[in-house]
Chains A and B, each alone.
Chain A
Amino acid sequence: MIEKRVISKRCGIINPLSIDDYLRTDGYIVLKKALKTDRIKLIEEVEASRLRGRGGAGFPAYMKMVGLAKEKGPVKYVIGNADEGEPGNFKDRYLMENDPHQILEGMIIVAFATMASHGYLYVRGEYSLPMSTMQWAIEEARRNNFLGSNILGSGFDFDIEIRSGAGSYVCGEEFALIESIEGKPGRTRVKPPFPTQKGLFGKPTLINNIETFSNIPLIISIGGKKYAETGTKSSTGTKLLCLSGNAKVKGVFEVPFGVTIRQVVEELGQGTESGRKIKMVQLGGACGPIIPEYMLDMVIDYERFEEFESKTGAGAIIVIDDRFNIFDILMRVVRFFEHESCGKCTPCREGHAQLAIIINKFIERKATAKDLFSLESLARVMHQTSLCGLGQTSPTAIISTLRYFREDYIEQIDYPINMGGQ
């Protein structure tokens, strides 16, 4: 069995609406311990764990904590990012619906370690049920003084407020999310300054994906060094994966870093529902690379994924069988990002419209060899020059298919026209 249920150990077992169930399964014990621990020691444990952000970008978690901790001033924010808009991802929903207090406990520990004063949990608007589960959990945590003033007699004050998204993918990007909490359209800001320096309402802010926060109680409980024994050199711990598409068994699975995509797809997903061959697998979500069947033996870890020049750690594994061709997928990817682009920077705003035009030429077999080169160079320019993660990662599906499915593009080129006229 390749599954290793650590972060998801309570999921499906406890009643998420009962704080007593959480307390009975060692809940908030780590918080009690943390409140009596030196703040620097807590951050050092996270550093030793080598935990990296689980939202996709994979930024070392302790660095944000150090960044926030060294900022002075009475108002500092900690934000839980649950704006899970990446198609094919549903692990944040799973965590919120099944173990809401673990997220809160992680946020409170991080807030204590960094001396943060206020917390926000930004949940995408589509997630009505997870949002009400989290709201209930926050109220129960307040009643038990895990949130509020003078938490468990420690003298530390901290509370968490939920903010809802309103149907915008880009608000999962940290500065777009900050703008959205401020009540504005979710358009990113130019970095630096980074959020830990100047974030929400101009104050120092730490933003992590809620799966990242869910790892914190475990790290403080067993120690960073022990935590780092699971996984690979570049990626420690476990990862929640979301298996979907044409996989026979779909769902959220927790595995240690270092297992292969093939193990996940074949052992956990049990191949395809149709019994047909796998044509391709998209990793991470719409912003991730599309790889052919023969590459399924690649291991899941941050270092391996970085070879695609994309930040694809969010955890989606979308299995696609051979009834579909790459253009079915690419057109949807491009249209998705065209709609979700905030419009602030030119490469992203104009680029997606142009990508759609070129992809359409391939679908209609009107493409020329020149279109192939235009597509390649446009995708590269967008990747290199867009302001935020959206435009930087959205061409990944195109760049990866140009590499691994080049013959599929060439088949759609209309040679007679190309070689004639010009």
Chain B
Amino acid sequence: MPLPSILEKHPRSEDQLIEILLEYQAAKDDHCISQEEILLISHYLNITESKVCSVISFYSFFSFVPRGKYVIQLCKDIPCFLNNSGNILKVLENLLGITVGETTPNRLFTLELTSCLGCCDKPPAMRIDGKTYTNLNPDKIKVIISEYSGKQP
């Protein structure tokens, strides 16, 4: 959905900023907010650009830089670490040919680490674009990644 139609759905009130950013960033293929978009949002809400930027930089969900179509976020916290998330990270890095923070050359995947996903009863856990995957093992990872790779148009 283009930015103007998302903006229209929200009242022109400062407290809508995070809601707008979440909705718009999720709708974009590159999962980031650009300079022009920051300007548009700040005009719509009648707040300064710096205010929009401060929110984007504060919350780890938001990004100024373009990311892949699918953002993979592997849990880095203790309950998953105790259940071999370190090995899962290696498998992901090998499979995708990138390290944490990088995007694959075809711009399909970005690999990130995230704070606890609240799935400590089924570790290790990761999220891909809002969908949670649990009880991960190397075989499961291979299946998941190939499914997403196949989704490429």
Residues of A within 8 A of B (CB): 84-90, 92-93, 124-129, 163-169, 180-186, 201, 242-246, 250-252, 282, 286, 316, 318, 320, 324, 328-329, 332-333, 336, 339-340, 342
| Alpha-carbon separation in the docked complex, A124 to B130 (Å) | 12
Contact with A along B17-44 (1 / 0, CB 8 A): 1110110000000000000000000000
**Judging by beta carbons under 8 Å apart, are B121 and A87 in contact?**
no
**Judging by beta carbons under 8 Å apart, are B119 and A85 in contact?**
no
Q: Which of B75-83, B87-95, B140-148 is near enough to bind chain A? A: B75-83
| Alpha-carbon separation in the docked complex, A41 to B123 (Å) | 45
The answer, among A169, A183, A328, A339, for a CB contact under 8 Å with B17, is A183
**Judging by beta carbons under 8 Å apart, are A183 and B18 in contact?**
yes
**Judging by beta carbons under 8 Å apart, are A183 and B15 in contact?**
yes
CB within 8 Å for A246 and B121 given contacts A87-B116, A169-B115, A183-B18:
no
Residues of B within 8 A of A (CB): 13-19, 21-22, 51, 54-55, 58-62, 76-79, 81-83, 114-123, 127, 130-132
**Judging by beta carbons under 8 Å apart, are B115 and A320 in contact?**
no
19 cross-chain CB contacts under 8 A: A84-B118, A87-B79, A125-B61, A128-B132, A163-B19, A164-B22, A166-B21, A167-B115, A169-B115, A182-B14, A183-B18, A201-B15, A251-B121, A286-B78, A318-B79, A320-B78, A339-B60, A339-B115, A342-B58
Q: Could you say which residues of chain B place their CB within 8 Å of the CB of A332? A: 76-78, 81
Q: Could you say which residues of chain A place their CB within 8 Å of the CB of B83? A: 245-246
Q: Which of A244, A320, A333 has its CB near the most chain B CB atoms (within 10 A)? A: A244
**Judging by beta carbons under 8 Å apart, are A128 and B131 in contact?**
yes
Please give the distance in Å from B74's CB to the nearest CB on chain A. Answer: 13
In the complex, the chain A residue whose C-beta lies closest to that of B82 is A245
CB within 8 Å for A166 and B77 given contacts A88-B116, A90-B119, A252-B121:
no
**Judging by beta carbons under 8 Å apart, are A183 and B55 in contact?**
yes
| Alpha-carbon separation in the docked complex, A246 to B14 (Å) | 44
| Alpha-carbon separation in the docked complex, A246 to B59 (Å) | 31
Q: Which of B16, B19, B21, B127 has its CB near the most chain A CB atoms (within 10 A)? A: B19
| Alpha-carbon separation in the docked complex, A318 to B116 (Å) | 13
In the complex, the chain B residue whose C-beta lies closest to that of A251 is B121
Please give the distance in Å from A388's CB to the nearest CB on chain B. Answer: 15
